[in-house]
Amino acid sequence: MVGDLMLDVYLQGGASRISPEAPVPVVHVRDEWHALGGAANVAANLAAVGADTRLIGVVGDDWAADVFRSAAERAGVDVGAVLPLESRPTTVKTRVLVGHQQVARYDREENGDLAAAGPSLAERVEAAAQDVDAIVLEDYDKGVLVPSVIDAALDVARRLGLPVVVDPKARHFFDFPGCTVFKPNQPELSAALRAETRPDDPEWLESTRRHLECENLLLTRGGQGMSLATADGGFLRIPAVARAVYDVSGAGDTVTAIMAATLAAAGSVAEGAVLATHAAGVEVGKAGVVTVSPEEILESVRHHEAASVQPQE
């Protein structure tokens, strides 16, 4: 698992008055908790479904790095290959909640490309790849996935025959040729191509897959589900299966994780897409960025299988 690491901080409380200093609510904080964000959330989702997960990225030399490592260890994620840097802070996203409603978010981060750290990160990728079953590249445009790191991951995966799942962002969107699964969301793909997407058009999706030079293109579409163009020219339209949508935060990370876990277990891309749809449907029914369990995914699959065979009136 290689990518941009973040610590999510949540401050939750009540608000019964407006500040005399500005037209904003005064939040009386009653609870505070921390969670893994960015690529680390994908790693937590992998660990939650039973995958041994090794994390590669950077943190700062600060309090947030200590909290991050503790959260990762509680989640069962190996952080031994995480690179500490004194030159920049750990990325921290702090959300202020009144009840369950987010009223503000403030970020601490530096997001320039970490070109100087690239060789060290590339060495860690090469070493970690020797005993894994899949590689995930999770980009949040915070600087970890520079060309040297991307190339190292793709090269070692090619040599060892490992599947590579990529969740891209704008800065290096076209830098993952040959990856196994390329998984943008619809707005990201539209922005990168500078054109409207046609996800229900198999020919358009196949042409886009070839243009991106990926083996399989999995386009996530929020409440519209997913569209998949496969290496053999196949097309699959996968509807969303959420029973209720409470919070869409983290759903994309869940999809990435379940696809990677499926491929690591020798499943097919189509199987991974279907399981990921069910996992995302469970995740959006919960508050905040959370993981899902194998039991929850299985229950969703069973529920929708049972619903599909109900007699029609």
- Residue 227 in contact with residue 219, Cβ under 8 Å? yes
- Residue 145 in contact with residue 113, Cβ under 8 Å? no
**Distances 80 to 7, 28, 37, 59, 255 between C-alpha atoms, Å:** 17, 37, 18, 12, 25
Rounded CA-CA distance 42/255 in Å is: 9
**Distances 200 to 114, 214, 262 between C-alpha atoms, Å:** 38, 19, 24
Rounded CA-CA distance 100/91 in Å is: 23
Rounded CA-CA distance 132/194 in Å is: 36
133 as an active site residue: the answer is: no
Rounded CA-CA distance 10/82 in Å is: 23
Q: Point out the catalytic residue in the list 4, 8, 139, 253.
A: 253
For β-strands 226-229 and 53-54, DSSP reports them as unpaired
Residues belonging to the active site = 253
